[in-house]
Amino acid sequence: MNNKNFNLEEKDIYKLFNEIKMEESEFNEMEEEIPTIQKERIKKNLNKKIKGQKGFKKLKYGSIAAAIGLISIIGIGTASPAFAENIPVLSSITQTLNDKFGFHGEYEKYSQIVNKSVTDKGITFTLNEVLADDSKLIIGYTVKSDKKISDEEAMSVLSSVKINGKMPRGSHGSSTGNYIDDYTYVGTEEVHTKIPQDSNKFNVNLNVEEIGNVKGKWKFAFSISKEELLKNSTVFKPNKKIDFPDSSTTINKVVFSPIDTSIFLSGKSKTKRSGGQGLFDYDYWIAFDDKGIELTPKGIGGGEGNLKEGTFTSEMDYVRMKSIPKYLTIVPCKITPSGGGGVSVDKNGKETPIKMETKKPKEISKVIDGIYPIELPQGNMGKVIIKEIKTENNKTIVKYTAQGKAPYFQAKDVLIKDEKGKNIKIRDYNLRKDENNPNEFTKTFEALDPNKKYTIYTNDFSNVDFGENLKFTIDFNK
């Protein structure tokens, strides 16, 4: 994959799968269900891009099962150098990191404080806080080292978690973090899996065996209650069946919680598929509330699948809604990746290239010349209008409006590159600053050099099948 063309903001990123470290026992457990384990060779490319770039990192991943055909999300950027000042000692790490992405759920209110530390090999891992509901476990943690911490990859502790003594199966989730300095990392991780339903309390073992490139033992055992979060969540079970060209899908559950909004679905493919194809095509769902405002996505399409049977489950996560709408309107999208491929690895270690359909969208760009507005068409999706680009306080702020079929979806794909084609680092992923003007966006980049030329660009979304003919609503009868 050519790094120059590897655009972390493109929507095809949702089709890439991250290579995940998992225990050998889990591979053995899944051999009957999944004959080959599929890995993407994108981590090396990601490492080349982020090596030496201390700052804000976000990684969303699918489980090994999800990597067979469902979606994984990867996004890596940098945060403000002053970010460390925004995390007081007693503040919720999970709350602060989610706020940086505009995921303004009530994480701090429902977190249980742990603050237990284990030190090994000169590294102290502190488990700061935890919270959970029926489908997810969230932890906030701090890593401190007496030596410089490797920043070649966003940390992930998914493979280290056991719930009631068992590895969670079909798990997916996200890992978000920030390097405060060379010796300190704060992170939060969401593990989405089936939490035991027979009690509001369950036990968790967290056995971290590697931090950066250092192997060691950082073990924790704790119990967690999901009672408060469940008590303040509203659950609907629509049992709504949707017929797609390639699959039949049922919406099993929609949960409005104090921290997010989640749609749970299951389905079956109509045709035999290979791992490179995925298990259903229209697996990125854009959601609108009853006022027509697009919901901010948190994580789309994590889940698990069985290639042999052609069945799958998936989850669509969006930000918390302040009130329950009368209905949600869903537009399913089929996104063809602009690059990718990868290999499948069987239990004997034999690698086989994965054939994957690709389609590269056309780049739409204009030189930043100080004259505004700058209009960037985005094909059939619509357009973005750049109203102002201003550099101050060691950062560059871009203010713009998105007009078209899915404004937030469109707004994500606005980037700046220098004369050599290198992308300028993003410092803030919280695009919506004003709830009263949901189609106006602000994106913050590293400061541009006034003596250099830059180009602002987007793409025409020609690799996105925006499924307007498949649009449907989910009604909530309260």
Model confidence band, residue 193 (pLDDT cutoffs 50, 70, 90) = confident
pTM beyond 0.95, yes or no: no
Q: Hey, what are 464's tokens?
A: 């996105």
Given a contact cutoff of 8 angstroms between Cβ atoms, the answer to whether 140 and 94 are in contact is: yes
Per the CB < 8 A criterion, the answer to whether 204 and 198 are in contact is no
Neighbour count for residue 58 (Cβ, 10 Å):
20
> Which of the four pLDDT bands, split at 50, 70 and 90, describes residue 51?
very low
**Cβ contact 22:30 at 8 Å:** no
- Angstrom distances, CA of residue 61 to CA of 15, 66, 264, 351, 432: 11, 9, 17, 21, 24
Q: Give the integer Cα–Cα distance in Å for 353 and 420.
A: 32
The predicted pLDDT at position 52 comes to 28
The highest-confidence range among 45-59, 218-232, 274-288, by mean pLDDT, is 218-232
- Structure tokens that stand for 87 in this block: 């995390």
| 332/285 Cα distance (integer angstroms) | 4
Residue 7 has pLDDT above 60, yes or no: no
pLDDT of residue 435: 87
pLDDT average, residue stretch 68-89: 32
Could you tell me which of 426, 416, 407 has the C-alpha nearest to residue 454?
Answer: 416
- The SS3 assignment for 178 reads strand
Burial status of residue 148 (CB atoms within 10 A of its CB: 0-12, 13-18, 19 or more): exposed
Average pLDDT over residues 347-354: 66
Q: How high is the pLDDT of residue 343?
A: 58
Residue 64: pLDDT over 90? no
Cα–Cα dist 276/351, whole Å: 14
Instruction: Write the DSSP symbol of residue 447.
Output: P
Number of other CB atoms surrounding residue 331 within 10 Å:
21
Domains of the chain by start residue, with CATH: 3-229 (2.60.40.1630), 234-355+465-475 (2.60.40), 363-462 (2.60.40)
pLDDT tier for residue 88 given thresholds of 50, 70 and 90: very low
| Alpha helix segments (H runs only) across 252-347 | none
Burial of 290 (0-12, 13-18, 19+ CB in 10 A): middle
**CA gap 59, 22 in Å, rounded:** 16
Note the pLDDT of residue 237: 96
The order of strands in the sheet holding 161-163 is: 161-163, 201-211, 214-225
Burial class for 185, CB neighbours closer than 10 Å (0-12, 13-18, 19+): buried
What are the C-alpha distances in Å from 470 to residues 52, 177, 336, 407, 417? 44, 37, 17, 19, 36
| CB-count burial class (<10 Å; 0-12, 13-18, 19+) for 99 | middle
Q: What is the pLDDT of residues 392-439, one digit of tens each?
A: 999 999 999 999 999 999 999 999 999 999 999 998 889 998 889 999
Q: What angle do CA 296, 231, 260 make, to 5 degrees?
A: 10
| Residues ≥6 apart with Cβ < 8 Å to 240 | 250, 251, 472, 474
Measured distance CA(154)–CA(157) in Å, rounded: 10
Around Cβ 107, how many Cβ atoms within 10 Å? 25
Q: What is the pLDDT of residues 435-446, one digit of tens each?
A: 899 999 999 999
Calculate the average pLDDT of the chain: 79
456 and 415 Cβ atoms separated by less than 8 Å? yes
pLDDT of 8 > 80? The answer is no
Residue entry with tokens 């989640």 = 262
Residue 129 has pLDDT above 90, yes or no: yes
3-state helix, strand, coil in the chain (%, to 5): 15, 45, 45
Does 354 score more than 60 pLDDT? Answer: yes
**Tokens matching residue 330:** 């869903």
pLDDT band at 374 (very low <50, low <70, confident <90, very high): very high
Which tokens go with 231?
Answer: 């008590």
Q: Give the residue, 226 or 198, on which the prediction is more confident.
A: 226
The pLDDT score that the predictor gives to residue 77 is: 28
Q: Which of 80-89, 174-183, 213-222 has the lowest mean pLDDT?
A: 80-89
Per-residue pLDDT, 181: 85
The pair phi, psi for residue 263, each rounded to 5°, is -115, 125
Which residues make beta-bridge pairs with 144? 124, 184
- What is the reported pLDDT for 197? 87
Model pLDDT for residues 203-244, shown as the tens digit of each residue: 999 988 888 778 889 999 999 999 999 999 999 999 999 999
pLDDT of residue 359: 87
- Which of helix, strand or coil describes residue 312? strand
pLDDT tens digits, residue range 322-347?
999 999 999 999 998 877 655 555 55
Q: Point out the least confidently predicted range of 99-103, 172-176, 380-384.
A: 172-176
Task: Give the mean model confidence (pLDDT) for residues 8-35.
Answer: 30
The predicted structure's pLDDT at residue 448: 97
Round to whole Å and give the CA distance between 427 and 445: 5
Which of 65, 299, 59, 313 lies closest to 168, judged by CA? 65
Instruction: Find, among 288, 342, 287, 345, the residue nearest to 316 by Cα.
Output: 287
Distances 62 to 2, 39, 95, 354 between C-alpha atoms, Å: 24, 11, 23, 18
Q: At 47, is the secondary structure helix, strand, or coil? A: helix
pLDDT at 383 (0 to 100) = 98
Residue 40 scores a pLDDT above 60: no
